[in-house]
């Protein structure tokens, strides 16, 4: 849930799905360090590139991502650890790119997903300071993937019904 000012979405206070100010619940601190510390406790080295707060049961518009090397993306350059609080994403063109994606929420499954090639992201950093980036390549894909989690979407939601049903049946057999 982004803050809207004069008809434009803005990065604002950390709002939960119910619209409450979540930053006030972070041990009385106005930054996101408490939840970031929690997220860092989840080992991103499990082959993941990022993590969204809802994936670990935290009701915040917060994602953390970054890696120095990653077995899933062995040829990718390092991505510095980054926190996005109340991120707002804007596609900068209609140009799309298809790329291979997987997710810790759907372990063992990978498929091609089409996403905007050029994006802009506005967010607050871990200290609540607004910033803007225009990521490219794997970083752009990672950010879009993690922001999907904030909206209750998984990469499989971009697949055909047939592929989604096949993955669902395979997951049900495993559990």
Determine the 3-state secondary structure of 158 from DSSP. Answer: helix
Catalytic status, residue 114:
no
Angle at 108 between CA 59 and CA 156, to 5 degrees: 55
Contact 101, 155 (CB under 8 A): yes
Catalytic-labelled residue, pool 35, 101, 111, 146? 146
Those residues whose C-beta lies under 8 Å from the C-beta of residue 7, and which sit 6 or more positions away, are none
The span from the CA of 162 to the CA of 119, in Å, is 29
Given a contact cutoff of 8 angstroms between Cβ atoms, the answer to whether 50 and 64 are in contact is yes
Residue pair 125/103 in contact by the 8 Å Cβ criterion:
no
Q: Which residues are catalytic?
A: 146
């Amino acid at each position: 849930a982004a803050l809207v000012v004069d008809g434009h979405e803005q990065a604002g206070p950390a709002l939960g799905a119910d619209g409450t100010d979540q930053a006030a619940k972070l041990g009385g601190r106005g930054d996101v360090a408490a939840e970031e510390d929690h997220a860092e406790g989840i080992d991103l080295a499990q082959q993941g590139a990022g993590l969204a707060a809802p994936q670990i049961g935290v009701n915040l518009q917060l994602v953390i991502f970054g890696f120095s090397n990653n077995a899933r993306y062995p040829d990718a350059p390092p991505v510095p650890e980054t926190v996005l609080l109340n991120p707002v994403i804007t596609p900068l063109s209609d140009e799309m790119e298809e790329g291979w994606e997987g997710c810790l929420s759907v372990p063992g499954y990978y498929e091609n997903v089409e996403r905007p090639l050029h994006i802009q992201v506005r967010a607050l950093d871990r200290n609540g300071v607004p910033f803007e980036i225009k990521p490219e390549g794997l970083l752009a894909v990672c950010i879009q993937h993690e922001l999907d989690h904030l909206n209750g979407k998984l990469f499989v939601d971009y697949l055909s019904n047939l592929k989604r049903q096949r993955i669902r049946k395979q997951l049900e057999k495993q559990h």
